[in-house]
Structure 1
Amino acid sequence: MIIAQLDLRLANDLAELEPLVRALEFFAEASALPEKVAHRLTLAVDEFVNNAVDYGYADRRAGEITVSVRHRGEEVEVVLADDGDAFDPFTAPAPDLTSSIEERRIGGLGVHLVRTLAARFAYRREDGCNVVTLAFTLDG
């Protein structure tokens, strides 16, 4: 059996990450995704959900994050949406990769990594929500 889509709604709570990763692993296996693609998918979703929880709700209000994954032909598309504070992660400055670790500014490495792993990425603000779309080709 091949599963072509997965739709999840999560509270903006880091405790949601473990069941989210299990659901992504099930989706990857049931969709027969290559291991490399499954790893990239899980890494990216973990990064963006973590960022949404840690930075999108500075006042610690309750919120909701949705994760939609679609296996479409030769790619997997992920749409992550949260009702947190507006933030386009793709406009953040590129991280300093040349200075020593002690001299580098904290943050930005996860988004940079996802940008290098994804075939496509985009951000939009829609109906009071941050919406990030990522696509990964099945050939990795």
Structure 2
Amino acid sequence: MHEGSITVRLPADLREIERLNRVVRQFGDLHEVPSRVLYAVNLALDEVVTNVVRHGFDDPAGQEIEAQIVARSGEMTTEVIDMGRTFNPLDMPPPNLDAPLSERTLGGLGIHLVRSLMDGLEYRRENGKNVLTMRKRIR
């Protein structure tokens, strides 16, 4: 693995997720990040960015999401930064996967997926922005 970083700014539009996915794959190829790590990071980014676009803004038109991706010291770190409404996804309780479908509440599966894919998650609100940091070890 080679160390490096990239920052991607994209409009808050679901159609931009595929572009972000391509950039992450190219970054991973350039820095020799294993494909299983790239898969996990891309899936987590897809889920997080989708939730920001769908739920973070009253109107996402004209809004921007920033993704900072870093490969260093046996770890891939991504930060998703947005100016949407304050929301700490880590405060969400885990979904009850044992309950019958008719009794389950909506929501929570996406952050559950992200938690299961990543090795570490941190949230902070800084300068009016949500910052979600996700870490994935490279083994």
Same fold (TM over 0.5): yes
- Contact (CA 8 Å) 2:3, 2:73: kept in 1 or not? no
Percent of pairs with identical residues: 37
Deviation of 1:62 after TM superposition, in Å, equals 2.5
Q: CA RMSD in A?
A: 1.5
Match of 1:94 in 2: 94
- Contact (CA 8 Å) 1:3, 1:27: kept in 2 or not? no
TM-score, normalised with respect to structure 1:
0.93
Deviation of 1:35 after TM superposition, in Å, equals 1.4
Q: Which amino acid aligns with 1:52?
A: V
What do the CA deviations read for 1:10-35 (whole angstroms, capped 9, x no partner)?
Answer: 11111111111111111111111111
Secondary structure of the residue aligned to 2:124 is strand
Runs of 5+ consecutive residues of structure 2 not aligned to the other structure: none
Which is worse superposed, 52-61 or 78-87?
Answer: 52-61
Deviation of 1:105 after TM superposition, in Å, equals 1.4
Question: Any residues of structure 2 matched to 1:1-140 within 5 Å, and which?
Answer: 2=2, 4-139=4-139
Deviation of 1:103 after TM superposition, in Å, equals 2.3
Which is worse superposed, 99-108 or 7-16?
Answer: 99-108
Q: Which amino acid aligns with 2:50?
A: N
Deviation of 1:61 after TM superposition, in Å, equals 4.8
Runs of 4+ in 1 over 6 A off after TM superposition: none
What do the CA deviations read for 1:110-131 (whole angstroms, capped 9, x no partner)?
Answer: 1111112211110000111100
In structure 1, distance between residues paired with 2:123 and 2:35: 26
TM-score, normalised with respect to structure 2:
0.93
Q: Which amino acid aligns with 1:138?
A: I
Runs of 5+ consecutive residues of structure 1 not aligned to the other structure: none
